Amino acid sequence: MICATTEEDLSSSSGYESSDSDYIPPLVFSSGVSSEIIAKCQAAFEGQSIPCDLLDRSPWIRRMLVHAIRKYEEFAKSSEVVELCSRRQYPELARARHARLIMSNIIPDVSDPCLLPYCFWYPEVAQEETYRLLAERYPSLRYQVGRACAVAGYTSLYKSLDLLPEVSIAEEARDNMHLSGEIFEEIVSSPVRYNVLDDYTRTAHEPRAGAYLNGDTCVRSILDFRQPIENLWLPAKRIECIPFDLTEDEALGETASGAVHPPLGPDEIRLLHTPLPLDLPTVNKNLLILMAAYEGNVDRYARLRRPRCFDVEVNCIVRGIYHNTSFAKWWEQEVESEFSAAKFIHGLDQIRKAITARFIMCNDLSRVTGSDPFYYPYMIWYPLLPQVRTLRELLHRIPAMKPQIAHTCIAADYQDIFDLLDVVPTRALWLEAKRSPNKHYVEDLESRAAEQDIDLENGPAVLCDTWQFDYVEFDKEPTSTYLYSPLHAGLVEFVYQGGIYEGMDARMAYVDHFLCSTEDLRKKAADHEAGLWFMYEEE
């Protein structure tokens, strides 16, 4: 039975914008996560009670409630939840309740557009007639109703909505071809397609013509990925930064389900080394995005990227900037754009330093305008060597960059300018000097270290930052003889605290090896224990 209900008018929040999609750190309380807090969180997650004293202490508490309200109809209808949803400061809870009512075939009476839900097809779909009435009551939700039709296979209702051929509905229908293949074919056969729904911001905007299928839809199967709630308070676990948050609960679940980085199929692997088609096939874009950033491929990265960076992406961006001038130039504009400033939760300083490093290595000092050494990179000699005259001018402009200039002189064997620096010996410089065929550097550093009572062997490691030892490594981007199969984005190695690119690093050794391998070798690795084959192992 389809019902309609009239609620008390929820507090208007005309200035409200949909909750940001930036990553939320795990539960953090000054007193730690006690067993009492865990018990309250668990009760909220299961729809048993509302921890009012914790609501404003962590956004994760509200994510738990969103999950429970969406899942449990009785909880969503309880007087406690109704009262809580009437509060102006918790619009996400009201949206979750309205979504639950719709999925329970109840049309809510909502006066504030900001409290209308974006997704009302997970964890369940409503009856077809419910969605028909919803579209009539709220015309602004017609395209979301079209999405629900693609999820549920309500083809006749979809056709009656008379929607423009919208690409996210097409991707949703393709994810559900056995029920919604007709919807998919109708959209993709149109000579012009449109983009209306934005799953990253959970908003519908004015139709934009000329859209293609680009893997920017959080289709129903993706929503099955869940990360266990206990990861919020277990130190050894971690919460993933998910690209979509369609249900506003950060994919919390009772247990883990689905894969953060699902294995790539043959068609997806092929996209890594072939031109991208106008319409992307069904694909998990994570590894495509990482490879485009890692290689500094402007066109591929600009097309594939999402507004919300995931963990290793910034590492790959920094590496790509170091190795590609056009990528660095593009990012010089991007770092000041609204896209980057609003969405990158970490790594902007490293990105800016990487751009400056690439420019310096290309003998351009246009970004060297201030005097604070904090804003300047350390490694300015790999993968390119700047010219001597560039280093002289750099020293003139930023004397505080003397350690970087000295390190570059050793790596490039610019002895004349090195001798002018009178640099304070550090262990990082000394280790670099020991690798140089020109013994002058190590002799000079050891001599002046003895004069200044500096212990290069056991003394302070560095004077600038804590990862200069990584800069000294001869093999800065090691390859691998390990062949992992299947291929997935989790094979990209990365570190935040250490690494040659401004304290960050990303390595594609396993991915590169996989792409070069034959199908027979990939199968051999897949059949081997742990999906790993060690190449060329000696008998």
What pLDDT, in 10s, does the model give residues 405-437?
Answer: 999 999 999 999 999 999 999 888 999 999 999
Distances (CA, A) of 115 to 93, 129, 197, 250: 9, 22, 17, 19
- Residue 281 lies inside a defined structural domain of this protein: yes
Angle at 322 between CA 308 and CA 347, to 5 degrees: 35
- Residue 320 lies inside a defined structural domain of this protein: yes
- Residue 119 lies inside a defined structural domain of this protein: no
The pLDDT value given to residue 423: 94
Average confidence (pLDDT) over 496-521: 89
Residue 3 — very low, low, confident or very high, per pLDDT cuts 50/70/90? very low
Q: 94-99: list long-range contacts, CB under 8 Å, 24+ apart.
A: 94/10, 95/248, 96/65, 96/66, 96/69, 96/70, 96/247, 96/248, 96/249, 97/69, 99/70, 99/247
Q: What is the DSSP string of 52-79?
A: GGGTTT-HHHHHHHHHHHHH-HHHHHSH
| 76 Cβ contact partners less than 8 Å away, ≥ 6 residues apart | 69, 70, 96, 97, 100, 101, 104
Distance between first and last Cα of the chain: 71
- Residue 337 lies inside a defined structural domain of this protein: yes
Q: What is the pTM of this model?
A: 0.90
HSE-up (13 A, CA, CB side) for residue 280: 22
Phi then psi for residue 534, to 5 deg, are -95, 110
Q: How far is C-alpha 212 from the geometric centre of its chain's CA atoms? A: 22
What does the pLDDT look like over 64-116, one tens digit per residue?
999 999 999 999 999 999 999 998 889 999 999 999 999 999 999 999 999 99
The pLDDT value given to residue 115: 97
216, 199 Cβ separation under 8 angstroms:
yes
- Residue 271 lies inside a defined structural domain of this protein: yes
**Which residue from 27, 496, 481 is spatially nearest to 250, judged by alpha carbons?**
27
61-89 in b/e form (b: 16+ CB < 10 A) is bbbbbbbbbbbbbebbbbeebeebbeeee
- Residue 88 lies inside a defined structural domain of this protein: no
The whole-angstrom separation of Cα 337 and Cα 88 is 31
The pLDDT value given to residue 6: 37
β strands within 243-376, DSSP E: 252-253
What does the pLDDT look like over 304-325, one tens digit per residue?
999 878 778 999 999 999 999 9
Residue 344 lies in domain: 266-472
What does the pLDDT look like over 255-312, one tens digit per residue?
999 887 889 999 999 999 999 999 999 888 999 999 999 999 999 999 999 987 877 8
- Residue 468 lies inside a defined structural domain of this protein: yes
| 307 Cβ contact partners less than 8 Å away, ≥ 6 residues apart | 21, 200, 201, 339, 343
Residue 486: cis peptide before it, omega within 30 degrees of 0: yes
Task: Please give the tally of structural domains in the chain.
Answer: 1
- Residue 370 lies inside a defined structural domain of this protein: yes
Residue with tokens 């270290």: 449
